[in-house]
Structure 1
Amino acid sequence: MTLTLPAGEVSVMLGPSGTGKTVFLKSLIGLIKPEKGRVLVDGVDMVNDPDRKVYPARRMFGLMFQDGALFGSMTLYDNIAFPLREHTRRTEAEIRRIVLDRMEMVGLAGEERKLPGQLSGGMRKRAGLARALVLDPQIILCDEPDSGLDPVRTAFLSQVLIDVNARIDATMLIVTHNLEIAATVPDNIGMLYRRDLVAFGPREALLTSEEPVVTQFLHGDRHGPIGMSEEKDAATMAAERAALRAEELAVGATRVRRRVEIPPQLRPSAGVPPRRAEERHAARVDAMLHTLPPAAQHAIRENRRHAPLGAASHPHGDRP
């Protein structure tokens, strides 16, 4: 795969289970080494450069683990302070200021004395995010932040991610199966399937895609290339198409695929500064708009037309 993550923007990577999303994240940060290729982070090759270059580049990353990865014997405060104590020479007063600020940023103010076992699943996720933020990362990687969360907590966490991006303007990559997060949080969406990047682009381009793998995944459909394990073979696909066609002939109708309704993208909470990434993303999309499929162009223009008051102004006049 070849991919450039737009600086400062929020991107989501979708894909069936077992297709390599977590391996992809670990490759980005240099925790595992791909057999070939390069991962360039600010000019440093995380795969091929010597450790003396790779280790400082890792400091640019904040990693939000799927399970929070908190130390069970430490308080929430000490868990979040851990990277600062291990990797910096800051005083305890400085550490306290940073930790309390990051806890407030993710909605955990006043919870510093609790142990991980006393936290709900959503609180553990936000604690993991706060710990990822204490070293002021320029790149934040989130591995399935929604796993194990109910829809309400997932909605709260989605808003926290948008607010964090607005506050620190970091590049964010979120790996998830959750279509609600994919539809409402990112500027860009990609999809991995069988070790390939089958799509990456503006949110609207993927949500209106006619690519069979993408449409099957977005609709949770049994019909399509994705099978119970990974990929259906040609014979299975042919038999499935024949059975579907016979079913359509029997009822005298053609099966119509339901299109995903594209909701508006989440905006920062009241009191949080505007996202600087929004203007950069709009300018970048304008430059490529003529290359996108008509459905994607239409969805982008519609979303801009219905953007809420207070959305960033745009020089081309199709944004409020």
Structure 2
Amino acid sequence: MGIGISVRGLTKSFGAARVWEDVTLDIPAGEVSGLIGPSGTGKSVFLKSLIGLLRPERGSIVVDGVDIMQSTARELYEIRRLFGVMFQDGALFGSMNLYDNTAFPLREHTNKTEREIRDIVMEKLELVGLQGDENKYPGEISGGMKKRAGLARSLVLDPEIILCDEPDSGLDPVRTAYLCQLLIDINAQTDATILIVTHNINVARTVPDNIGMLFRHKLVMFGPREMLLTSDEPVVGQFLNGRRIGPIGMSEEKDEATMAEEQAMVDAGQHAGGVDDVEGVPPQVVATPGMPVRKAVERRRARVREMLHTLPPKAQQAILDDLEGDTASVGAQRR
């Protein structure tokens, strides 16, 4: 099973500009979690902080029993070996073909022979659908292929934690769906902990087991997907429905007077922009038939049962409906 991450009181600034403060959450081991929020709220900064590429001013990040905020350079090096990172643009070396790009971490961090490296590289390239493309260079392939190559490279060290920074950016809806399915299948096969940063509403609603949201320098919430998808928080509803009306503005958050004027327009029957309101909790993406059973599903069910009484009523009902549906499905299969 993958490794969980415990974050407590994390605060990060660049000079006088506060990115976020007092971020506290537990990313469950072996599950798929998502982090959403408007542009500029520091989601990518959060990912880079988790692996020690950026250093927050305060707080703790505990991975496998080690607080990387207090760790030595050697401890941080060892902790980073637990991570695989898929960057927004793939972060491929332009002078290397896909084979050498994917082999790079193995050559840098292991003593494996070239024969062993080849077996691993070809396995990972096949996993992401790039078999036969290993001799191509980044400049010769599409954006979607670059992302898949970046994912293959992130997997070669068999990481227990996979961080994906906007894996859907620049992809059309069909390629995004394929990539999301691939991430769920990887979780089924490896039981790795996965954290996905995304702006994509459909990805946020259908892929993660757990979802968090950053806004106004704070973590608005983090928990089971039902908690955010049934939330009455105005900023959550605005983001998930892609509406113009709400706390999120074009360049910054809106003041109360502006929000009141906009609400008056809505009350008068003017359209808020974006899609029609999406209610309820949609079905979650499941592993492809033939894949191993995703162990995260049952672990998550056990965990949410224990915390059910602490969640808002709407989230409780959505979880109970899901659990009852699973029970009915199992009963039907037995008959």
How high is the TM-score relative to the length of structure 1? 0.90
Distance 1:223 1:287 in 2: 36
TM-aligned CA deviation for residue 293 of structure 1 = 2.3
Check conservation: 1:289, 1:297, Cα contact below 8 A: yes
Separation of aligned partners in 1, 2:201 and 2:243: 13
Letter in 2 for 1:130: A
Contact 1:143 1:176 in 2 (8 A): yes
Shift of 1:296: 1.8
1:119 matched residue in structure 2: 141
CA contact (8 A) 2:201 2:241 kept: no
Partner of 1:206: 228
* Structure-2 separation of matches of 1:112 and 1:262: 40
Counterpart AA for 2:256:
A
Q: Tell me the SS of whatever aligns to 2:24.
A: coil
Are 1:30 and 2:49 counterparts?
Answer: no
How far, CA to CA, are the matches of 1:187 and 1:272 in structure 2? 18
Paired with 1:133 and 1:196, the residues of 2 have a C-alpha distance of 31
- Superposed CA deviations along residues 63-121 of structure 1, whole A, max 9, x for unmatched, are 00000011112111110000101111100011011111111221222221111122222
Is 1:174 the equivalent of 2:196?
Answer: yes
Which position in structure 2 is the counterpart of 1:254? Answer: none
Alignment partner of 1:274 out of 289, 293, 306:
293
Moved more, 260-269 or 197-206: 260-269
Q: Which residue is 1:84 aligned to?
A: 106
Is contact 2:35-2:197 (8 Å) kept?
A: yes
SS in structure 1 at match of 2:33: strand
In structure 2, do the counterparts of structure 1 residues 307 and 116 end up closer, same or farther at CA, with 3 Å as the change threshold?
A: farther
Partner of 1:265: 284
1:65 maps to which residue? Answer: 87
| Contact kept? 1:11, 1:187, Cα under 8 Å | yes
Q: Is there any run of 5+ residues in structure 1 with no aligned partner, and where?
A: 251-256
Count of aligned pairs between the two proteins = 307
CA distance 1:318–1:139, change in 2 (3 Å): farther
Partner residue of 2:322? Answer: 303
- Structure 1 window deviating more from structure 2 (114-123 vs 170-179): it is 114-123
Note the residue ranges of structure 2 that are not aligned, 5 or more in a row.
1-22, 271-275
Q: Which has the higher strand share?
A: 2
Give RMSD over aligned pairs.
Answer: 2.2
TM norm structure 2: 0.86
1:234 CA displacement: 2.6
1:44 aligns with 2:66: yes
CA distance in 1, matches of 2:24, 2:190: 27
How far residue 298 of structure 1 moved from its aligned partner, in angstroms, is 2.5
Does the aligned pair in 2 maintain the 1:208–1:259 contact within 8 Å? no
Query: What is the aligned partner in structure 1 of residue 162 from structure 2?
Result: 140
- Equivalent-residue separation in structure 2 for 1:307 and 1:78 (angstroms): 45
Displaced runs of 4+ in structure 1, greater than 6 A? 317-320
